[in-house]
Amino acid sequence: MPTPVLELADVTVRRGATVLLDQVTWVVREGERWVVLGPNGAGKTTLLQIASAQLFPSSGLVGVLGELMGTVDVFELRPRIGLTSAALADKIPRQELVRDVVVSAAYGVTGRWREQYDDLDHERADDLLREVGVAHLAARTFGTLSEGERKRVQVARALMTDPELLLLDEPAAGLDLGGREDLVSTLSTLAHDPDAPATVLVSHHVEEIPPGFTHALLLKQGRVVAEGPVDEVLTEQQLSATFGMPLTLTHADGRWAARRDVRHR
């Protein structure tokens, strides 16, 4: 069986009387591509904060890339993890050149300052921008890009350090239909690349699951409703339980779609 890159055992996160994550047990292994689905407030971002070594649980054990959280220097661990999130995107200066947005990830900074980058870093940044389909934007400033273009630049940035674990928090949020489809196709290409890192994608929508994703975790009110191979987890019954309404679910040409089941209205 492939090596685990992320292991959560009975992980609970509390803030005062509120339970954000409730005894979550989950293992992600090398080569796997996971989607984490759940309604607003389910705890998805909290789960990614744990997975990216940004947050310690109130109780339970977390293993990231073979290291037990609490016994390891998180500043050594974080560069081995690629992360995209709205919070990180907000930190990218709008006047920054796209190529520099990507290359500066190698140094763990946002905003090019006084770092010296070598030619190899620039070549790698250009390769990654090509991989996500925005090579032609390398010399533009980040602030001039469309939301969809920005999302793809963020994926390239997250891949710059050659991470062993890639975490994408709602990368399709705010995209129009074309932007979403472009991103889904980029992520699908990545999912099929055997050299790509183990990936976890957080989303609200089954329509955003890229073909090639292998596993799913359904989260509701901080609890795991179901987790495992995507075909076993994504059933009408389990999705309806997760989102708290009767849903019909279709799967065609590798893509999923869900809508309210009108027969139950």
Ligand X SMILES: Nc1ncnc2c1ncn2[C@@H]1O[C@H](COP(=O)(O)OP(=O)(O)OP(=O)(O)O)[C@@H](O)[C@H]1O
User: Cβ 19 to ligand X, closest distance in Å?
Assistant: 8
User: Cβ 133 to ligand X, closest distance in Å?
Assistant: 26
Contact 184, 177 (CB under 8 A): no
Q: Judged by CB under 6 A, does residue 38 bind ligand X?
A: yes
Q: Judged by CB under 6 A, does residue 174 bind ligand X?
A: no
* Number of chain positions touching ligand X (CB under 6 A): 12
User: Cβ 204 to ligand X, closest distance in Å?
Assistant: 6
Q: Judged by CB under 6 A, does residue 57 bind ligand X?
A: no
- Dig out the tokens for 154 from the structure: 């963020």
User: Cβ 56 to ligand X, closest distance in Å?
Assistant: 14
Contact 125, 160 (CB under 8 A): yes
15 or 265, CB closer to ligand X?
Answer: 15
- Helices 177-192, 147-159: axis angle to 10 degrees equals 20
Q: Judged by CB under 6 A, does residue 186 bind ligand X?
A: no
45 or 240, CB closer to ligand X?
Answer: 45
Q: Which of 106, 163, 98, 109 shows the shortest CA–CA distance to 132?
A: 98
What number of H helices and E strands is found in the chain? Answer: 9, 12
Q: Judged by CB under 6 A, does residue 44 bind ligand X?
A: yes
User: Cβ 45 to ligand X, closest distance in Å?
Assistant: 3
Q: Judged by CB under 6 A, does residue 20 bind ligand X?
A: yes
Helix ranges (DSSP H) in the chain:
44-51, 74-77, 86-90, 98-103, 119-131, 147-159, 177-192, 230-233, 236-243
Q: How far apart are CA 77 and CA 91, in angstroms?
A: 21
Q: Judged by CB under 6 A, does residue 42 bind ligand X?
A: yes
Kindly report the backbone phi and psi dihedral angles of residue 264, in degrees, each rounded to the nearest multiple of 5, phi listed first: -100, 0
Selected range binding ligand X among 15-23, 66-74, 91-99, 185-193, rule: CB under 6 A: 15-23
Q: Judged by CB under 6 A, does residue 18 bind ligand X?
A: yes
Q: Judged by CB under 6 A, does residue 52 bind ligand X?
A: no
Question: Tokens 């909290």 map to which residue?
Answer: 46
16 or 194, CB closer to ligand X?
Answer: 16
Q: Which of 140, 201, 211, 147 shows the shortest CA–CA distance to 178?
A: 147
Q: Which of 45, 154, 188, 203 binds ligand X (CB under 6 A)?
A: 45
Selected range binding ligand X among 13-21, 97-105, 179-187, 230-238, rule: CB under 6 A: 13-21
Q: How far apart are CA 131 and CA 135, in angstroms?
A: 8
Q: Give the max Cα distance, the chain.
A: 62
38 or 134, CB closer to ligand X?
Answer: 38
Give the binding site for ligand X (CB under 6 A): 15, 18, 20, 38, 40-46, 204
